[in-house]
Amino acid sequence: MRILFITSNKDKFEEARSIGKRFGFDIEWLKKEYEEVQGNDLEEIAKKSAELLTSQIKEPFFIEDSGLFVDALKGFPGPYSSYVFKTIGNDGILKLMRGLDNRKAKFVAVVAYFDGKDVKTFKGEVSGEISREKRGKGGFGYDPIFEYEGRTFAEMGEEKNEVSHRRRAMENFFSSIQGS
């Protein structure tokens, strides 16, 4: 089955395509920057942003909104992950975390799918830790500082797609549409 993924982020698309392939879905990229509604809750942001897009895109599509939530920073950058990455970036996060022993963090992804009629959301989460320094050459965004079972996502290559927040959200999404 072919499904349209709307995102401006090529890395997100590549990962989604690779995950989709494992489940027999052919993910097609519609490269587009869309208006992201503001808010504190990823699920609500994804749902409302997809609903806004339905005025332009009439066929079924999905978007996906992700965020990094750091325990010791009370969930920051969370829904502001995109802005924070563009401004202070990984070095800024590492600086904020200097001297902190609680390194716990999670990545959350929410897929919002428009089936031609309604928008439904599917969530995926992965727990890990913020590393003490950037490590690894793969991945994108916060991958060099997000550690999962001893390796950063940037050190995991394709294995990231077996355990990531994106994988988990997409797995929930695929299993819900598989039977329909």
Q: Which stretches of the chain bind ligand ITT, using CB under 6 A?
A: 7-9, 12, 33, 65-67, 81-82, 85, 139-143, 153, 164, 166
CB 168 within 8 A of CB 125: yes
* Nearest distance, CB of residue 139 and ligand ITT, angstroms: 6
Pairing mode, strands 61-70 and 104-114: antiparallel
C-alpha count within 13 angstroms, C-beta hemisphere, residue 170: 28
* Closest chain position to ligand ITT (CB): 141
Pairing mode, strands 26-31 and 151-152: unpaired
101 is catalytic: no
CB 71 within 8 A of CB 133: no
CB nearer ligand ITT, residue 165 or residue 174: 165
Q: Which two tokens stand for residue 121?
A: 């959301």
Q: What sign has the CA pseudo-torsion 53, 21, 124, 82?
A: negative
CB nearer ligand ITT, residue 101 or residue 149: 149
Nearest by Cα to 62 from 128, 110, 134: 110
* Nearest distance, CB of residue 153 and ligand ITT, angstroms: 6
Among 11, 26, 41, 65, the active-site one is: 65
CB nearer ligand ITT, residue 143 or residue 155: 143
* Nearest distance, CB of residue 94 and ligand ITT, angstroms: 14
* Nearest distance, CB of residue 100 and ligand ITT, angstroms: 20
CB nearer ligand ITT, residue 23 or residue 140: 140
Three-state DSSP class for 61? Answer: strand
Distance separating alpha carbons of residues 134 and 145, to the nearest angstrom: 5
Q: Which residues are catalytic?
A: 65
